[in-house]
Amino acid sequence: MNGIEELAKLLKERENKQGYSPVFGTIIDLPGLQIHLGGKVILTEEHIVRCVSIDGRDEDGEYENLGKEAVLLPFADDQKFILIGVIIN
Amino acid sequence: MKLYADDMDITNAAGGLSWQNTISELATTMSFEVAKTDAKYMNIYQPDLGSIIRLYTNEEVFRGIVITMDDGAKNSNKYTAVDFGWYLNKSKETYQFNRMPAKKVIETVCADFDIGIDSISELIVEITKIYLDKTISEIISDVLTQCGGWYNFDMTPKGIRIYRIGDIYAYPEFRIFPNTRLIYSPGARGNVSHSISIEDTKNSVKAISGNEDGFSVLASAKDDALIGRYGLLQEVVSIDPEKEDPGAATQAKLLELSKIKEQFSFEIIESEDSYTRAGAVITIDGADFVIEGTQHSIVNGIYKVKLDLKRL
């Protein structure tokens, strides 16, 4: 490995990480939680850690949060997500 | 040998041709000059940014695109062209794969970006992972890491080529005269540089786990013969015992770190119809080396290749 290549490797290792930000997805299934992140990604129970309960039902027995936007924080190299809430319209 | 720009033969007007590739870079980079003139009635084709450059020896060995042009000089323009591996870290996409075989994952990603496929090893490891806004090269590298072993990928004129290091052997040869026998090029190597160093070597590895009870040592491995010779050089790695076996992990880490760093490079002459690329394995004096990088140049009609090697 020549010097320039070695330097390039060191710079590549120290590249700025992408900014950390929450992601949004649509709740498409309850109670077996499924969240559509847009595009090709559908998150299921195994990906999600819940901080809030979203299983509440209204007087007709329908899930209140079905179809709403959920707010998630990615962790573990984008393989897991913390569900921190649902957007109130 | 022929050099084409946008299907126009520029071999006679081109000079200073050289190209290089390494296993840690995505693309082969080529540089060359093309003569230009301000004389009337004389027309030399001048490639432009985006021109497709192709190099033929006995077959097409390079196809790429001009990404930089230096046209300040009076009599010639300088160009830099890269092969289509360059595009792999320019585009990003989001993917989710559920138990999809690694080979199929790579084929899916390539199909979405219209990347041709030259050849892919049989990769049967099943991939279950989410990639959020990752470049194509990051996805492919990550998939190959999950497959274990040591894989490399590069671009040929047909498309992407993925192979295990050790599957492709290079055997560069040349003739002194057209009517003499072929000679194995490394047998007549020049400008040899070889050095070994223990600067980054470790001969003892300790695995620790950090949890709420504090740190605890899970396993350790050491190479007593090397410690006796070079003194104790210890590395501490942090391991999650639920994910991997501490004993096996420390042994693997020791094997990786106890290697002596060896740098070996030299120049050879190669016949034009053979092409030695980074990623191939070459046998020198009975030992196998991986070619980490190659620099090809054609000077006064002689095809020279500089090889950077690493012991396998």
Q: Could you tell me what percent of chain A has a pLDDT over 70?
A: 99
Integer-rounded Cα radius of gyration of chain B:
24
Q: Could you tell me what percent of chain A has a pLDDT over 90?
A: 40
Looking at residue B268, its pLDDT comes to 95
On whether any CB of chain A is under 8 Å from the CB of B96, the answer is: yes
Assess whether pLDDT exceeds 90 at residue B65. yes
Looking at residue B70, its pLDDT comes to 96
For residue B261, give Cα distances in angstroms to B198, B202, B269, B310.
6, 11, 27, 9
Work out the minimum CA distance from A59 to partner chain B, whole angstroms: 36
Section A64-83 average pLDDT: 91
Section A68-83 average pLDDT: 91
Looking at residue B103, its pLDDT comes to 95
Residue B55 and residue B211: Cα distance in Å, rounded? 58
B102-112 vs B136-146: helix crossing angle, rounded to 10: 170
Q: What is the CATH number of domain A19-86?
A: 2.40.50
Return the exposure string of B243-275: e unless at least 16 CB atoms fall within 10 Å of the residue's CB, then b: eeebeebbeebbeebbeeeebbbbbbbbbeebb
Contact criterion met (CB < 8 Å) for B22 and A40: no
What does the DSSP assignment read for B228-274?
A: HHH---EEEEE--TTTS-HHHHHHHHHHHHTSPEEEEEEEEE--TT-
Looking at residue B32, its pLDDT comes to 96
* ipTM of the complex model: 0.87
List domains and CATH numbers for chain B: 2-86 (2.30.300.10), 91-164 (3.55.50.30), 173-197+261-311 (no CATH), 204-257 (no CATH)
Integer-rounded Cα radius of gyration of chain A:
19
Mean pLDDT of chain A: 88
Contact criterion met (CB < 8 Å) for B94 and A2: no
Q: Which of B25, B94, B129 sits opposite A39 (nearest CB)?
A: B94
Nearby residues of B106 by Cβ (< 8 Å), 6 or more positions away:
B120, B123, B140, B143, B160, B162
What are residue B256's DSSP bridge partners? none
Residue A70 and residue A89: Cα distance in Å, rounded? 12
Task: Say which residue, A15 or B268, is predicted with more confidence.
Answer: B268
Looking at residue B243, its pLDDT comes to 73
pLDDT digits (tens, 9 = 90+) for A14-43: 988 878 889 999 999 888 899 998 778 999
On whether any CB of chain A is under 8 Å from the CB of B304, the answer is: no
Assess whether pLDDT exceeds 80 at residue A2. no
> What residues in A contact B194, CB-CB < 8 Å?
none
Preceding amide of B47 cis, omega within 30: no
Nearby residues of B61 by Cβ (< 8 Å), 6 or more positions away:
B55, B157, B275
pLDDT digits (tens, 9 = 90+) for B6-57: 999 999 999 999 999 999 888 999 999 999 988 888 889 999 999 999 999 8
Contact criterion met (CB < 8 Å) for A78 and B130: yes
Looking at residue B14, its pLDDT comes to 93
3 state SS of B145: helix
Residue holding tokens 């001048």?
A: B46
Residue B10 and residue B45: Cα distance in Å, rounded? 7
On whether any CB of chain B is under 8 Å from the CB of A6, the answer is: no
Looking at residue B211, its pLDDT comes to 64
Residue holding tokens 């709740």?
A: A27
Contact criterion met (CB < 8 Å) for A41 and B95: yes
On whether any CB of chain B is under 8 Å from the CB of A21, the answer is: no
3 state SS of B107: helix
> What residues in A contact B132, CB-CB < 8 Å?
23, 41, 74, 78
Residue B112 and residue A9: Cα distance in Å, rounded? 29
Pairing of strands A48-50, A69-75: unpaired
Residue B33 and residue B76: Cα distance in Å, rounded? 6
pLDDT digits (tens, 9 = 90+) for B208-249: 886 656 678 888 899 999 999 999 999 988 887 777 788 888
> What residues in B contact A74, CB-CB < 8 Å?
132
Name the token pair of B189.
Answer: 């190597």
Mean pLDDT of chain B: 91
How big, in percent rounded to 5, are the helix, strand and coil portions of chain B? Answer: 15, 50, 35
* Closest residue, chain A, to B293 (C-alpha): A1
